[in-house]
Each structure stands twice: as C-alpha cells, then as structure tokens.
Structure 1
Amino acid sequence: MKKNKVTSTDIAKAAGVSQATVSMVLNKRHNVSFSRETVEKVERAAKELGYVPPGRKTRKGAKREKLLVVFCSNLTNPYYVMLLQGIESRAKEQGFGLFVCNTQRDLKMEERYLKMMWELRPLGIIYTCNPSHCFMGMVEELAEQIPVAVVNNQNEKMNVDAVELDNSKLGRIMARHLLELGHRKVAYIAPPLTIRQKQRSKRVEGFLKEFEKAGLKEQVIIKAADEEIDLDVAHIDSEYKIGYDLTKELLSENKNVTAIAGLNDMIAFGVLDALHEAKIKVPSEVSVMGCDNTLFARMHKVELTTIEHFVIFKGRDACDIIMKKMASQNSRYSELEPISTYHVEYEPKLIVRGTTGPANTRKKK
C-alpha cells in the first residue's frame, strides 16, 4: 500500500504545536521567535514521521514556464466561465499561461489536482470558490511555497489570501426587488445547499432576511435540489434542469406563488421553460429573476431580470493578488510572509428586464 505523504499538519499534531510554527521552523525561520526546545521538537517529529520537503528547484538550465493554475468547481455554469475570463485577461497581460483544474465538485478529483501542484510548481494558484474544508490543510501548506488566492464568501475564515464576495447581499437585492413589486408569496429555487457550497446558502439567507424584515418569511418556499446531484458529473444543462424540474414540482403542489427566484441565471432559465410549458405567462402571472447577469440573460426568449455583480472584475482581482504576492516575494522586508484579505467590493446592480412585474394578486383556480 502506498504511504501517504507526510504534511506539516501531521508534524504539528505530533509535536503539539501550530501548523504555522512547523512551517517557519522547517523553512529555517526559527531564529525569529522560537525556543531551541520548540525547534528540536518539530525537527524530531519531522524526522520520526519521515517528512520529505517538497522540491523547490527546477532542473538546471531549464526555463520555467510562467504558469498559473485555476481551480474551478463547475465549468457548465457561465459564472465560473466569467471568472475564468477575468483571470485569463489579466494573466495574458502579464505574460502568464493558465492550467485549469475542473474538479466537478468531486473530492477525489480536487485532492488529485492538489497533489499534482508539488510537481507542476506553478507560479500561482487561484481557487474560484472555497476549497473543500477537508483539504484546507493542503491548500495552506501549498500557500507556504506558492502564492494562493481564493475567491470566497465574505466572513469565511481562511489562512490564505482572498477576494471576498458578499453573496448575502445579492440575495437581499433580489428579495427587495420582488417585495417592491408587491410579491408576498414567492419561491426560491437552488442547487443543493450543502456545507461545501456555502456561497449558495448565503444567497438564500440574504433573500430570507429581507422577507423576514417584512414579516413575510413564512411566505417564502425554498426548494433546493437533493445533495446527490452534486455527486454526479455536471452536465451542460445540470443547473437548468434543477430550475426546470423543481418548478414542475412546485406547480404540481399548487402553491400559487406570484414570483420565483433562481439562485443563478441558469436555474432561472429552467424556471422560465417550465412555466412556458405550463402556459403560465411571465411576468403577468408569475415573475422570474436570476442572478449573475450571464450573457444568456440577454439572449433568452424574454430577457431575464438579474443581478450584475461584476464577476469578470473579481477574476482580475484574484489574478492581481497573485501578482502582488510574487512581487512581495522578490522584495521582502520581513522574515514573515503576510496573509491578507483584499476586500474589493463592487456594488451589485439590479438589472430589470422583461421577466419581473407587479404581483398578480388574483387567486388562481
């Protein structure tokens, strides 16, 4: 059986110290603040566990490619394609190439790609969503050697550099728009709301908070897909199908909602087609809105009301973090490498198009 690679997390547990302490000791920074006893404890644990330091040098005379790696969880959703577009445009300006790792939300695939990074040795790594919690130790260990940036949900605690998104705010804007139009009984359709996909839950929470402020929280029907869906390989129509199937289910339950919000535009397109098949007029009978302002939002039969939150810009910001980290490595003024959170917030903008209108309060038969 193949022996698992010993990590700094393993050494930290064995020595009874923090992972950061192990990192600084193994990188010979112990002259900063650690006692001889602590240093010996870490070095002894590393030796006993058979720790092998990751290789850092390229072959003599070999030219190292200017390569960035991007981890994506799902390339069937235009949201991630837009993030990738932003990253690529900035990387190209700086003469970098991209290697894209599409994990498909598969833990084994994510782990496999992470282990490849020690051999690939890119100049930077960008996660377009939160890394899976079980691999945060690996990501933090990589970040000790390679600049890492994560496009993550606001207030997530991470020991790596990040561009923060306020997904809760997007949900609140969606809710306010529907409330202002007089919608009181509404549905919110989402992919699986799992711990691993916390950004989804944040949008839903924001939406519910606005209805709660209006005393109407009980009038919101949350329909989320089963968790098993995230275990399947994503198909090009996966999120569209979630919107379509859950809307059909909602209609069969005869809930008489006046508006349906999709967690993203792809889900909203599925909602629209399910309503069209049921001969329900949009927006005169039921209003529909999405989020992300993807290209398709302007190309559907009826243009989709959605939220623009400048996804491409956020991809560029993540790439900028990598460039700043690389520059700081070349001109250090301290033995310690800082961890920073770049809170670059673009004010989300409601894009009102043809799929939302005043609530139809007449009772349906």
Structure 2
Amino acid sequence: MSRKKATSSDVAKRAGVSQATVSMVLNKKYNVSFSREVIRKVEEAAAELGYELPRRKARKEGRKEKLLVVLCPNLTNPYYVMLLQGIESRATEQGYGLFVCNTQRNLELEERYLKMLPSLNPQGVVYTCNPSRCYMPMVEELSRKIPFAVINNQNEKLDVDAVELDNSKLGRIMARHLLDLGHRDVAYIAPPLTVRQKQRSKRVEGFQKEFQEAGLVDHVVIKAANESIDKDIPGIDSEYRIGYDLTRELLSEHEELTAIVGLNDMIAFGILDALHDEKYRVPGDMSVMGCDNTLFAKMKKVSLTTIEHFVIYKGRDACDIIMKKINTHDRKYADMEPVSIYHVEYEPRLVIRGTTSYPPNRRSRKK
C-alpha cells in the first residue's frame, strides 16, 4: 500500500503552527515577521514528512492580451473624441482594449510612442491623423510587423491601410454653399498652415479653388494662426481661442465681410462668440460655417451649419481594417501571406442649420 502524501495540514501539526504560517514560510512570503525558530520548525517538519509545495499551473505559452494602440494629435477637439468612440465601440465588440497615446502634435512625443510599440506588443495600431513625414519610414517599417490603419488626408501617399478624407472636397463644399447663397466677401480662419499639417492646407485650398473658379478668389481672406501655437501643449480651448481671437482681428481689418468659415467646429464656436461680443447678428449680419458636425454643433442654441463626414464610422472602419489584417495573418493561403492595402472613403455632406443665410443687403449692425 502506497504511503499517503503529506499535506500542509500535516506539516502545520508537526511544527505546531497554523496552516497559513506553513504556506507563507515555505513560499518565502515574509510579509509577516516570523522568528528563526518558527521558520526552522516549519522547514524541518516539511523535510521530515517529504512535503512539497504544489506546482502552480504554468501560464499558457503564446497567450496575448488583445490590445490596440491609438495615436491622437490631441484630445481637446471633439472630432478626435468621436474617432475614439468609433474605434473603441468596435474594439470592445471584438474583445480588444485600447491604449491611447496623445502626441499633442509634438514630434518628440510621437517618436517616443512609436519606439514604445514593440514593447507594448499590440495587435494593431490606429493613427487618427497623418503620421509626421519624418516618421513615415518608421511607420511603414512597423506596419510590416504590426497591422496599421491611418485616418488620413487622401492626398498623402502612404503605403499603409487608410480610412481617407478628401479635405479639398470639404473646402469646396463649404465654399459652394456660401457662393450659392450669394456671398462674395468671405474669410476662412484656420490653425497654423504648416507643412506638417498638410491636411489643413488642403481644406483651405479647396475653399479657395471654388471661389477662384467663380472669379472671386481675391475676395477670400485667409486668416491662419501663428505657427508658434502648434509648439505649445494644446489647452482645452486652444482651437476655440483661435476662432475667437482671429475673428476680432478680422472685424477690425475687413468691414466688407459677410461670412466667416472655421476650419472645424471648435474654431466656428469661437467665431460665433466673438461675433456675439461685437454685437453682430448671425446669420443676419454675418454667416458662419464649421466642419465635422460635432455634438455641440447640433445644439439648438448653436445650430451651426457644418459638414458631416461620418467621423464615428471612420473610427469603426479603421478598427475593422485592423481586424481584417489580423484574420488574414492567421490564415494560410498557398504557404504565403497575402499583402493587401485597404482604402475606405465616405462622401461628405453639407448640414445646413441656422448660422448661414443670404448676405445682408446693406452693411449695418444692430448695436
């Protein structure tokens, strides 16, 4: 008859201590102070009885946390929050968690996060804007090992999967709406129009081109914020302040204006408040437009005319691209992995609300 295997209870009886003490002593967990005598008794009792600690179940090899990394240029604009909402809703459905990196449009931060990616071991990466040009080689190299999806400006040449946005088309739609209403003298307010932020310039260029084809390009005033703003850490109201401050400047410099456009809704909100403080009626004295159709644009007190380009859907699609890439990688076809590049684009739509109308017949303000 085989000898019964000793238990921790047997060791406890032999050493004259509790079972918990046996467990802590033999597992070397000395978070409770034990005397040398107690430790000696437990170890000797275990040796005499031939007691061995139960082996822990080994963690399954190859098990990975299902993680997606998302790189955002800022989290102060509702546009990026909407993108994150779309990404997270789809990721959650598929059992993935998100690790969000806010680059704050800082090159050093962006590089730091890119270098962290291999150690984070994500199943996929989503860029919610164009990667900085100086890091495109790094992005393309990483994309050979980790599925990438970029929500980008259509005019950029990227060898990675993309949910695309034709910013030039957005600018044209905004301009066409104002031209159809009869506006001739208009202004466009934008954040800094630098080489790094080419998507902004494309939207402005589209707006100008539509007025140029109407023979009115000289009637368009482009007012862009100083480049130094992009070097600062963005505040919660950075884009709103651009709209507000530059509108005040425009009103003192150009009395002939009948419409002011913001590159996005946040800038348009600043424009509206500046006009309110200067006693302009909207749209009676001045029409205002934004872009992105964010939540606040729909509020009845705001009722902002804007452009819908299905931001939440873009976030979901970027996540879907990652999932397709993962599934493709897991399947074998003729002993080789297929290479595919996905491109998705939505047709933008004009959303007419209460901030645009025909230009006033005469330049007058309600004081």
Q: Which letter does structure 2 place at the counterpart of 1:283? A: P
Secondary structure of the residue that 1:222 maps to in structure 2? strand
Q: How many residues align?
A: 306
Segments of structure 2 that go 5 or more residues without pairing to the other structure are 1-58
After superposition, the Cα gap between the structure-2 partners of 1:237 and 1:183, relative to the gap in structure 1 and judged at 3 Å, is: same
Q: Distance in 1 between matches of 2:310 and 2:254?
A: 36
Q: Structure 1 residues 183 and 162 mapped into 2: Cα distance closer, same or farther (>3 Å)?
A: same
The corresponding residue for 2:135 is 135
Post-superposition offset of 1:196: 1.3
Matched, 1:340 2:341: yes
- Deviations along 1:286-306, one digit per CA (max 9) or x if unpaired, are 000100000010226331111
Q: In structure 1, what is the equivalent of residue 221 of structure 2? A: 221
Q: Is the 8 A contact 2:68 2:99 kept in 1?
A: yes
Match of 2:14 in 1: none
**Alignment-derived partner of residue 71 in structure 2:** 71
Q: What is the Cα deviation at residue 208 of structure 1?
A: 0.7
- 1:117 to 2:117 alignment: yes
TM-aligned CA distance change 1:248 to 1:300, over 3 Å: farther
Contact between 1:256 and 1:364, CA under 8 Å: does it hold in 2? no
What is the CA–CA distance in structure 2 between the aligned matches of 1:86 and 1:244, rounded to whole Å? 30
Aligned to 1:164, the other structure's residue is in SS state: strand
Q: Do structure 1's residue 202 and structure 2's residue 221 form an aligned pair?
A: no
Aligned-partner SS, 2:301? coil
Deviations along 1:227-282, one digit per CA (max 9) or x if unpaired, are 11011111110000000000001011134200000000000000000000000111
**Matched ranges for 1:316-335 at <5 A:** 316-333=316-333, 335=336
Distance 1:300 1:242 in 2: 23
Aligned position for 1:44: none
SS at match of 1:109: helix
Q: Could you tell me how far apart the structure 1 residues matched to 2:187 and 2:124 are?
A: 41
CA distance in 1, matches of 2:80, 2:106: 16
Aligned to 1:162: 162
Mapped to 1, the partners of 2:215 and 2:364 lie a distance apart of 24
Residue 156 of structure 1 aligns with an amino acid whose one-letter code is E
Structure 1 pair 163–302 and aligned structure 2 pair: CA distance change class (3 A) = closer
Whether the 8 Å contact between 1:258 and 1:361 is mirrored in structure 2 is no
Aligned residue number for residue 22 of structure 2: none
Q: Please give the alpha-carbon distance, in whole angstroms, between the structure 2 residues aligned to 1:145 and 1:186.
A: 48
**CA–CA distance in structure 2, aligned partners of residues 231 and 355 of structure 1:** 32
Give secondary structure in 2 for the equivalent of 1:141.
helix
Q: Tell whether 2:207 aligns with 1:190.
A: no
Q: CA deviation at 1:337?
A: 4.8
Deviation at 1:137, TM superposition (A): 1.3
Scaled by the length of structure 2, what TM-score is found? 0.81
Gaps in structure 1 of 5+ consecutive residues? 1-58
Give the deviation of 1:335 after TM superposition.
3.6
Q: Is the 8 A contact 1:265 1:293 kept in 2?
A: yes
Q: Name the SS for the 1:291 alignment partner.
A: coil
Q: Indicate the residue corresponding to 1:11 in structure 2.
A: none
CA contact (8 A) 1:188 1:263 kept: yes
Corresponding position of 2:146: 146
Contact 1:260–1:288 (CA under 8 A) maintained in structure 2: yes
Structure-2 residue corresponding to 1:181:
181
Q: Which amino acid aligns with 1:175?
A: A
CA distance in 2, matches of 1:338, 1:152: 20
Q: What is the alpha-carbon distance in structure 1 between the residues aligned to residue 287 and residue 142 of structure 2? A: 46
Structure 1 residue identity aligned to 2:89: S
- CA–CA separation in structure 1 for the residues paired with 2:219 and 2:348: 25
CA distance in 2: counterparts of 1:100 and 1:134, whole angstroms: 21
Decide whether the 8 Å contact of 1:185 with 1:257 is kept in 2: yes
Distance 1:319 1:240 in 2: 30
Counterpart residue number, 1:281: 281
Q: Deviations over 1:176-225 (max 9, x none)?
A: 11011110000000001111111111111111111011100110000000
Q: Partner letter of residue 100 of structure 1?
A: V
Residues in 2 aligned to 1:62 and 1:329: alpha-carbon distance in whole angstroms? 16
Helix, strand or coil: the match of 1:80? Answer: helix
Give the equivalent residue in structure 2 for 1:350: 350
Shift of 1:226: 0.7
Deviations 1:130-189 (A, max 9, x none): 100111111111111110111111131112111111111111111111011110000000
Q: Distance in 2 between matches of 1:81 and 1:205?
A: 26
Q: How far does residue 346 in structure 1 lie from its aligned partner after superposition?
A: 2.2
- Once the two structures are TM-superposed, the CA of residue 355 in structure 1 deviates from its matched residue by 0.6
Contact 2:69–2:99 under 8 Å retained in 1: yes
Distance 1:64 1:349 in 2: 41
TM superposition shift of 1:349: 1.5
Q: Which TM-score applies when normalising by structure 1?
A: 0.81
How many angstroms apart in 2 are the aligned matches of 1:155 and 1:173?
17
Match of 1:257 in 2: 257
Tell me if structure 2 keeps the 8 A contact 1:125–1:149.
yes
SS in 2 for 1:70: strand
Determine the structure 2 residue equivalent to 1:7.
Answer: none
